[in-house]
Chain A
């Protein structure tokens, strides 16, 4: 697989990455999903939160990672260090906190027999502990999960011994991401969805611009983010960084005749705000960062969002969009344009849901052996290749271990 390659959209190198049809099984087959569960989601760095959710010692969040059958607590200890643990009391497995949640507290107390753990994962107390056949409490500390932070984003890895550090895994795109506003964000807006579609079917929709002029007919006539003329917002170039990828899209939209005085007014105010904050014209404001396996990050400070697509089953997934902001709203106008920016993007994203459900139904029917990606859908092809490579690597390791 190409690494660290910058590929102009017009370059024949896009075709050189592959042009053959792609098998459909990875997009609907439960058996393949089981392979992805083991080969990818139980041993790859997954983005699950942001440091602004852990603003002070004893803050914590909990995340359900269904695809890995895991529940994880991420907590900032009294010493300020962020740690992660399996959400399972070491006594008899009971979950310490329920579901996706956040909060603050110096301890986690099991509701079953009151075993109590610190935010550093240490077992602090257990009724009748002397009656257990354990040499000391340290033997019953919470089971740790690898956790690290890049660009303010919290990643976990459920592999007890990750093959790479987070920084090694993210590579140069991780370094670039650290220059983005998300690295210093202090708050966010969030909208979510669950959809009857494989995680790659869902994810692929957001890494190609081919569909924009068809699916987004209603919002494609929206005021452009800037004056760059590009009728269909086709990417200008692509970058591949190992299993990760990025494209640069102009961000234009075709003019139409419908008057949009308020939207223009609000977008103008938003642009003024970004310029006043010195965030306009950054090197990545048109870059769409896509980290393997399932994280998007749009570099534009006017619509600075992440989108994670978490698998639930072979044909169901959950998406989480987050719009990150730095600092409290300073003025009424700033509050207004931040809310408008988020609402404007959601306006577009809501249009994607129905076509994805329809695509999954067609794939689930088993009628097709292959799908086809055109040159402009090279990032979909790249995700497929990265996924297959991860599965093949895991299978080879399993075979080696068994022999």
Chain B
């Protein structure tokens, strides 16, 4: 694992999740969820869920439109967490069934995607 810090100070515990979960588009975050293992989802859900209130307080104190790259990365992790919350809290063991249906209903546009915003 790289030692490079890609997140704001105070959120180093999330560093290991950046490569897989910090996708920059809505479809990318959905794909990360659909392509993850139950263990990967649970680990991310547990660690990121605990830090979510602090992360959102931190991000809300800054201008969304001028986030620094580390702030944007943290934001993308929080957005992925919203998807994973549905997988862990609603679907649980049925996530594979959900994934089958979700792949037939692809997301084609996210309003906050870089190409759209």
A353 at the interface (CB under 8 A from B): yes
**Top 10 A-B residue pairs of the complex, sorted by shortest distance between their CB atoms:** A350-B101, A332-B59, A262-B85, A340-B82, A190-B109, A187-B111, A260-B89, A193-B105, A191-B107, A350-B102
Say yes or no: A343 contacts B30, CB within 8 Å.
yes
B26 at the interface (CB under 8 A from A): yes
Partner of B64, one of A191, A221, A331: A331
A249 to B18, alpha carbons, bound, how many Å?
Answer: 41
Chain A proximity mask over B66-109: 1 for CB below 8 Å, otherwise 0:
00000000010011011101101111101001100110111111
A-B contact pairs, 18 of them (CB 8 A): A192-B106, A193-B106, A218-B91, A258-B92, A259-B89, A260-B85, A262-B89, A263-B89, A265-B53, A323-B111, A332-B75, A332-B78, A335-B79, A339-B79, A346-B105, A350-B104, A353-B104, A353-B105
A278 to B117, alpha carbons, bound, how many Å?
Answer: 24
For B26, B97, B116, the residue with the greatest tally of chain A CB atoms inside 10 Å of its CB is B26
Residues of B within 8 A of A349 (CB): 105
Distance from A52 Cβ to chain B, minimum over Cβ atoms (Å): 10
Distance from A352 Cβ to chain B, minimum over Cβ atoms (Å): 8
Say yes or no: A347 contacts B90, CB within 8 Å.
yes
Which of chain A's residues 304-348 have a Cβ closer than 8 Å to chain B? Answer: 323, 325, 328-336, 338-340, 342-344, 346-347
Partner of B49, one of A261, A331, A336, A339: A261
Partner of A329, one of B64, B78, B82, B104: B64
Query: Contacts A218-B97, A265-B52, A339-B112 given: A346-B89 contact, CB under 8 Å?
Result: no
Residues of B within 8 A of A332 (CB): 56, 59-60, 62, 64, 75, 78
Residues of B within 8 A of A346 (CB): 102, 105, 107
Interface extent on A, as a size class? 35 or more
Distance from A340 Cβ to chain B, minimum over Cβ atoms (Å): 4
Query: Contacts A343-B30, A343-B83 given: A193-B104 contact, CB under 8 Å?
Result: yes
Query: Contacts A191-B105, A193-B104, A332-B78 given: A263-B56 contact, CB under 8 Å?
Result: no
Residues of A within 8 A of B52 (CB): 262, 265
Say yes or no: A339 contacts B26, CB within 8 Å.
yes
A329 to B111, alpha carbons, bound, how many Å?
Answer: 9
Say yes or no: B98 contacts A350, CB within 8 Å.
yes
A335 to B25, alpha carbons, bound, how many Å?
Answer: 12
Residues of A within 8 A of B83 (CB): 343
Which of chain A's residues 214-263 have a Cβ closer than 8 Å to chain B? Answer: 218-219, 221-222, 258-263
| Minimal Cβ-Cβ distance residue in B for A258 | B89
Which of chain B's residues 21-49 have a Cβ closer than 8 Å to chain A? Answer: 26, 29-30, 45, 49
B9 at the interface (CB under 8 A from A): no
Contacts between chains A and B (CB distance < 8 A), count: 121
A377 at the interface (CB under 8 A from B): no
Say yes or no: A351 contacts B101, CB within 8 Å.
yes
Chain B proximity mask over A159-203: 1 for CB below 8 Å, otherwise 0:
000000000000000000000000000011111110100000000
Residues of A within 8 A of B78 (CB): 332, 336
Say yes or no: A328 contacts B82, CB within 8 Å.
no
Residues of A within 8 A of B102 (CB): 346, 350
Say yes or no: A336 contacts B79, CB within 8 Å.
yes
A354 at the interface (CB under 8 A from B): yes
Residues of A within 8 A of B85 (CB): 260, 262-263, 266, 340
Say yes or no: A191 contacts B106, CB within 8 Å.
yes
Say yes or no: B79 contacts A328, CB within 8 Å.
no
Distance from A59 Cβ to chain B, minimum over Cβ atoms (Å): 14
Distance from B47 Cβ to chain A, minimum over Cβ atoms (Å): 13
Say yes or no: A335 contacts B108, CB within 8 Å.
no
B65 at the interface (CB under 8 A from A): yes
Partner of B90, one of A187, A221, A335, A342: A221
Say yes or no: A343 contacts B90, CB within 8 Å.
no
Distance from B104 Cβ to chain A, minimum over Cβ atoms (Å): 5
A388 to B88, alpha carbons, bound, how many Å?
Answer: 45
Distance from A304 Cβ to chain B, minimum over Cβ atoms (Å): 12
Distance from B24 Cβ to chain A, minimum over Cβ atoms (Å): 13
Say yes or no: B116 contacts A261, CB within 8 Å.
no
